[in-house]
Chains A and B, each alone.
Chain A
């Protein structure tokens, strides 16, 4: 399949870029550990002061496990290509994709997945260590089938988050300097996805409303598949919803890029 070759090259390039900046990635992992540490101490204090063994429907062990997993899963699905798209549109680099026999969307997807692979490997390794630690020290049972289902949901979550941010990056066609806005959007989506606290913490109404949005399916849902909070049928139902959201966001991305692309202006040679 010769048409696939160019995208494999884009994947390869993304992979190499990620390896080139591996030290930066490791440093970013250290700073990602801080919120996990702060929240672990916070939950320890809250559970110590609380009369019951369960808070917000989570036992202490489930909550700590959630905190660790949320920190890692949010990092796993995180994007970053939106800044590259902003640069492409702002500085006219997008023009070359208009004349080359290469689709911008598949190129971005291939490059993104390539960039994700080394980091995902490292984070999955860390996640594995956390799971082993939870099993050895707290006796938390993780069934192999759940791990498998988690990995499937994780792939779908990564694709879903890619599509969400591909949609957001279309703002670059309307607003030239959009970097700060991307950061604001990223933070809010992390909060809405349950990447900081479980959604139940903010109340049933909030959790229900957040459940109507796609963000939950990028962090909160994969974790609940892994930690056993969801039954088998609920996990399958969630997977189906992930796929439906992927389809919906794909259509929205297509529409946004078609409308936004008409606004693109390249000046000069």
Chain B
């Protein structure tokens, strides 16, 4: 019992330490972005453009006025809002690190962070953040979700809100793992830019609820290449449209993927040769 408690304390201390460091990363990223203000404005314009494209799908759905595979336009708005919110997490917090990893491995820049007394994977994959993208998409996504929530008269209670937030947490972990895995190939391959571009474009498959696709694509997107888990599960939960198999899979998948990423990372790291060697 004592050992178990001791371990939990140590784990808690580590989490606290990494959270503190992560907050510093965010602060540094914000300061770096604010230094070049036109970059900040340009970034804002770019993300607003992307947001406009996502909103064009909302317009199409509402103007058509039909229920798509049993989903009303308001329900689809909940899906698209969740997608936009999670784009904030993916594009704002992960993407810049994912794309930079290849360069760090190729140029031997990992040397600089190998020696730090913090998890190397944590440092290499979460150090930078694009808070412009994050704030634009998080705000737009949250507004869309709130509008859909109100129009659908979904009750606001611990089960719905807590469940939705819990699934957002699961989605964040799944997207971290899912989009980091192809980048880890950089430990073995010199140029993975093509793979990165293809996998990054995969994100857009979540632009619409997975119900628009046929059954085969849905099953592949949930169980084999679990891209649909990312943005479909939180709204499915609050709309009570989630089969129990999906619920079990959603609880298991983050642990499976985290284990897989960790394993791949450690294997890949063995392949890493530093700049001076």
Contact = CB atoms under 8 A, between A and B. Distances in A.
Given A27-B197, A31-B198, A38-B205, A185 B49 contact: yes
A184 B198 contact: no
Interface residues of B, number: 40
B46 A49 contact: no
A180 B44 CA distance: 8
Interface stretch (A6-14, A111-119, A149-157, A194-202): A194-202
A27 B202 CA distance: 13
B198 A27 contact: yes
Contact of B60 (A24, A183, A201): A201
B66 A49 contact: yes
B56 A197 contact: yes
Interface string A168-193: 00000001111111011111101100
A203 B66 contact: no
A38 B207 CA distance: 8
Interface in B58-73: 59-61, 63-64, 66-69
A202 B212 contact: no
Interface of A is mostly: helix
Chain A: number of interface residues, binned into ranges: 35 or more
Contact of B45 (A56, A180, A197): A180
Nearest to A188: B49
B66 A191 contact: no
B194 A27 contact: yes
Interface in B182-217: 193-194, 197-198, 200-202, 204-205, 207-208, 211-214
A46 B64 contact: yes
A184 B133 CA distance: 12
A41 interface: yes
A201 B46 contact: no
A176 B37 CA distance: 11
A45 B69 contact: yes
Select the residue from A46, A177, A180 with max chain B CB neighbours within 10 A. Answer: A180
B50 A187 contact: yes
A137 interface: no
Contacts of B50: 187
B160 interface: no
A190 B66 CA distance: 26
B208 A31 contact: no
A201 B202 CA distance: 25
Contacts of A177: 36, 38-39, 42
A61 to B, nearest CB: 17
A49 B59 contact: no
A42 interface: yes
A185 to B, nearest CB: 7
A30 interface: yes
Contacts of A49: 64, 66-69
A55 B194 contact: no
A42 B59 CA distance: 13
Contacts of A178: 38, 42
Contact of B197 (A31, A41, A203): A31
B94 to A, nearest CB: 18
B204 A196 contact: no
A34 B205 contact: yes
B49 A187 contact: yes
17 contacts: A27-B197, A30-B198, A31-B197, A34-B205, A38-B207, A41-B208, A41-B213, A49-B69, A56-B63, A178-B42, A179-B42, A183-B46, A187-B50, A187-B52, A191-B56, A196-B53, A197-B56
